[in-house]
Structure 1
């Protein structure tokens, strides 16, 4: 494919920097795998300082978060991006506002995740994510529109998982005890009827290997990248 035919992706990243690194690697590896040779992805990255965004999340100031990401989206469009990716699950809570701020499409992570689940025949997966993504309706409702009924851990499990994500994974720390705790959540959900697992935080893949889970897994970051590659390469 001539470089002029590859669509340029605009990434809103930094939430966290750990998973944005994964996005960059997967997008470039994906283009090389599909086109061969020395091909790599055409990308524009706006990487935010996560600390203020995390504070907005904790304080429930989603209007300020939407404004910050909308500004990033406009800058990326002005710089030549032809589609947007918010490189985080939780911040898709403000995806409607971000999409409204620009004229280019926003590739939604929950849609990509749902397609990956349907491809594996999963209809009742366990959603592993931040408390915001697990407890607020924006993500589970988006999955439900695809016929996916997401399960979430109990209160204690949600609290532990949220702490693992923010206090460890977002800061580049992986802990064996945390891995064991998350696997226990998965086993409990399997006993309650879960037929799959969503790595619904883009950092979960840093902690768990999908092959070790024992149920069909969709890593939301990987699914998101796949959808973006389809857009960028016209497939």
Structure 2
């Protein structure tokens, strides 16, 4: 007689370090998403039911600055991202999530270099979720690099979703909140800067949905009670759920008797 059944899982990886607080928070969101996935599949939740997962927290050059500096020999994040992904693959990862929105500018390179992996595209996961909910327009808070690269704008346009962007001055407020706020440990400053731009977008465009398109933004903005009428979308949570779906297979296999 079989003693029990354990879920069939596959090893997954998280490419973090951009910044470290966001990578650590992504791991938390992934564990939470695994619990929710187990509930969906009718799998009893216990320590041994969680999949093997690896978090690579490596120093990676600034993505926004790299996108704005195309000089030959400029310090780019591609090589350390490739090296870290290679380590995750060597550890047995079958799918990898990039715990940084702006770093998705290098998604194609990672997927091309590691065809044996499923390198999840967080921006596409977010847009697919918005389309499924029939959201027609959103406000976007992101880094200067993400705006300039059009990471979200292009995907949203293809899905027929209007994208409302902050002004140039408001984008600088966001960068202050990211660098002088979250990355420096001043969450009060970050909350004030992010909240100010969010309210400006809401008042100017009448939006009801806000995409927090930088992993640092939810670390401060989700705690703010001053955003009535706004539905906040955390791309990290969306991507963590997608990684959990990759980690769990529907079938179960018998545990050792």
For residues 41 and 26 of structure 1, do their structure 2 counterparts lie closer, same or farther at Cα, with a shift above 3 Å needed? farther
Determine the structure 2 residue equivalent to 1:149. 162
- TM-score for the superposition, normalised by structure 2: 0.81
Query: Is 1:20 equivalent to 2:33 in the alignment?
Result: no
Alignment of 1:148-227 (within 5 A): 148-175=161-188, 177-191=189-203, 192-209=205-222, 212=225, 213=227, 214-227=229-242
Q: Assess if the C-alpha contact under 8 Å between 2:102 and 2:145 holds in 1.
A: yes
Determine which structure has greater relative contact order: mean sequence separation of CA pairs < 8 Å that are 6+ residues apart, divided by chain length. Answer: 2
Q: Assess if the C-alpha contact under 8 Å between 2:15 and 2:56 holds in 1.
A: yes
Q: Alpha-carbon deviation of 1:56?
A: 3.7
The worse-fitting range, judged by mean Cα deviation, of 62-71 and 193-202 is: 62-71
Q: Assess if the C-alpha contact under 8 Å between 2:212 and 2:234 holds in 1.
A: yes
CA distances 1:141-181 after superposition (whole Å, capped 9, x unpaired)? 12322322322100000011012112221233301x54233
The structure with the greater share of residues assigned to helix is: 1
Separation in 1, partners of 2:191, 2:140: 16
Separation in 2, partners of 1:52, 1:198: 21
Structure 1 gaps of 5+ residues are: none
Structure 2 gaps of 5+ residues are: 251-257
Q: Assess if the C-alpha contact under 8 Å between 2:153 and 2:163 holds in 1.
A: yes
CA distances 1:91-139 after superposition (whole Å, capped 9, x unpaired)? 0011111111102111111012113323443221111111111232233
Determine the structure 1 residue equivalent to 2:46. 37
Q: Assess if the C-alpha contact under 8 Å between 1:93 and 1:139 holds in 2.
A: no
The worse-fitting range, judged by mean Cα deviation, of 210-219 and 95-104 is: 210-219
For residues 84 and 63 of structure 1, do their structure 2 counterparts lie closer, same or farther at Cα, with a shift above 3 Å needed? farther
Query: Is 1:130 equivalent to 2:143 in the alignment?
Result: yes
Bigger Cα Rg: 2
- TM-score for the superposition, normalised by structure 1: 0.88
The structure with the greater share of residues assigned to strand is: 2
Between the two proteins, the alignment pairs up a number of residues equal to: 233
Separation in 2, partners of 1:67, 1:100: 14
Separation in 2, partners of 1:172, 1:113: 27
Q: Alpha-carbon deviation of 1:184?
A: 2.7
